[in-house]
Amino acid sequence: MIFGIKEKSIILTNFDVLFAIATNIHVRLKTGFVLQVAVQGTVSLQCSNVRRGFHRAALLRLASDSKSDTSVPPPSYHEVHTAGESSSSSAQGESSEDAQPNTSFQDQSGEHGEDYETEEQLQARILTAALEFVPQHGWTVEAIAAAAETLGLSSASTGMFNNGAGDLVLHFVAQCNAQLAETLAEQNNQVQLGQAEAKKTAEFLKDAVETRLRMLIPYIDTWPQAMSILLLPHNIPDSLKHLSTMVDDIWYYAGDRSTDVNWYTRRAALTGIYNTTELVMVQDSSPDFEETWAFLDNRIKDVVNMANTAKQVQATGEAVVQGLMGAAITLKNLTGMNQRR
């Protein structure tokens, strides 16, 4: 049997030469010489298996040498690399198509960009802009839709607000409470630094409640509508939460640090004052709501007088009890009941 390699020559190792000698094969060397080894006699069955094995090895070596001359990467690497580039380019294409001004995005590290805006922030921005349309549309979904259009959004953005007009009213109340807390904190800081004198409790409470109620003046014509919205069953929990937060902030900056039952009575009293004064305000037609502030001043004085009266009663009661105890001890001394036997 003669096995010749005509198209391409190969380099034989010592092991290959031995197999060539054993199998009577003509092999062309790199130098151009032909190695011919003739083995007399017949080849056994075991030798034929060796020839087939060497035949396959020679073909594999030839294929490997032919591929090593080219710079084309293996098919698996090429396919993976191409797939990675295509997926990266498609992802960049989608991100460029979806890119819009003032929208959220993430970089390769997973961090949000500077212009990232959460859904809550977008809702707050829409509701704040909607306050400008309340005098025209009232506390309605139409005011929210008008605000969304001015921000370059679709009027369908009102679907973000499940509570509709209730979300608008509650947003305004929370905004006013935050503004009041900031004002009270600044005043308290000035007192701590000695830049302002501390007010008496009655004066402080009156000024705080008046400051909060004056925030309603730009919307006073439509505020009865807002009050009715806050009284709806599904809005009552949030409405009470905002009211209690406001009252607690006022008493805190007034210097109240009580931990007994007075903590509840003082806040309940101030809550009643705020609600009744608010009802008077929406019906007040006097210049600059003078009647409202006079009503507020009287209610604050009543609460302070009641507190002073309660303290006087408590002090009087304690004095009476102590007097009775002293009289009882004196009586025992006179009758000799306290004498030791």
**DSSP per-residue codes, 229-288:** HHTSTTTHHHHHHHHHHHHHHHHHHTT----STHHHHHHHHHHHHHHHHHHHHHH--SGG
Report the pLDDT averaged over residues 218-246: 97
Average pLDDT, the chain: 75
Greatest mean pLDDT among 2-6, 41-45, 281-285 = 281-285
CB of 37 closer than 8 Å to CB of 20: yes
Interior angle at CA 148, CA 144 and CA 107, nearest 5? 130
259 within a domain of the structure (yes/no): yes
Looking at the DSSP assignment, which residues form a beta bridge with residue 35?
Answer: 27
Whether residue 169 sits in one domain with residue 64 = no
Q: What pLDDT is stored for residue 52 in this prediction?
A: 58
The DSSP annotation for 157-175 comes to: GGGG-TTTHHHHHHHHHHH
Whether residue 178 sits in one domain with residue 61 = no
Residue 32, pLDDT > 60, answer no
- Higher-confidence position of 108 and 178: 178
> 35 φ, ψ to 5°?
-95, 120
- Higher-confidence position of 316 and 246: 246
Whether residue 297 sits in one domain with residue 185 = yes
For residue 137 the two structure tokens come to 């549309």
Query: 87: buried, middle or exposed (CB in 10 Å: 19+, 13-18, 0-12)?
Result: exposed
21 within a domain of the structure (yes/no): yes
Whether residue 198 sits in one domain with residue 54 = no
260 within a domain of the structure (yes/no): yes
Whether residue 314 sits in one domain with residue 178 = yes
> pLDDT band at 116, cuts 50/70/90?
confident
Residue 11: its H or E element:
none
Whether residue 189 sits in one domain with residue 40 = no
Say how far apart CA 278 and CA 227 lie, in whole Å: 10
> pLDDT band at 306, cuts 50/70/90?
confident
DSSP 196: S
Q: Rounded to whole angstroms, what are the CA distances from 125 to 14, 47, 145, 162, 175? A: 83, 89, 12, 16, 12
Residue 319, pLDDT > 80, answer no
339 within a domain of the structure (yes/no): no
Residue 59, pLDDT > 70, answer no
Range in 9-23, 150-164, 322-336 the model is least confident about? 9-23
Residue ranges in the chain assigned as alpha helix (H): 14-23, 45-68, 75-98, 119-130, 134-137, 141-150, 165-192, 201-214, 223-230, 236-253, 262-283, 290-335
149 within a domain of the structure (yes/no): no
Whether residue 174 sits in one domain with residue 319 = yes
151 within a domain of the structure (yes/no): no
Report the pLDDT averaged over residues 242-258: 95
Domains in the chain: how many in total? Answer: 2
Q: Rounded to whole angstroms, what are the CA distances from 57 to 8, 18, 191, 202? A: 15, 14, 96, 105
Residue 145, pLDDT > 70, answer yes
For residue 228 the two structure tokens come to 């009715």
C-alpha distance across the termini of the chain, in Å? 143
Residue 267, pLDDT > 90, answer yes
Full domain range(s) for residue 48? 14-68
Is this model's pTM higher than 0.95 or not?
no
Choose the final residue of a domain: 68, 88, 107.
Answer: 68
Q: What pLDDT is stored for residue 111 in this prediction?
A: 54
Report the pLDDT averaged over residues 6-17: 46
- Per-residue model confidence as pLDDT tens digits over 93-107: 444 444 444 544 454
> pLDDT band at 258, cuts 50/70/90?
confident
24 within a domain of the structure (yes/no): yes
For residue 160 the two structure tokens come to 């973000």
> pLDDT band at 229, cuts 50/70/90?
very high
Residue with tokens 């032909």, as numbered in its chain = 34
Q: What pLDDT is stored for residue 6 in this prediction?
A: 43
Whether residue 172 sits in one domain with residue 54 = no
304 within a domain of the structure (yes/no): yes
- Higher-confidence position of 290 and 311: 290
Q: What pLDDT is stored for residue 162 in this prediction?
A: 93
- Per-residue model confidence as pLDDT tens digits over 274-299: 999 999 999 999 999 999 999 999 99
**256: closest CA among 243, 268, 273?**
268
> pLDDT band at 161, cuts 50/70/90?
very high
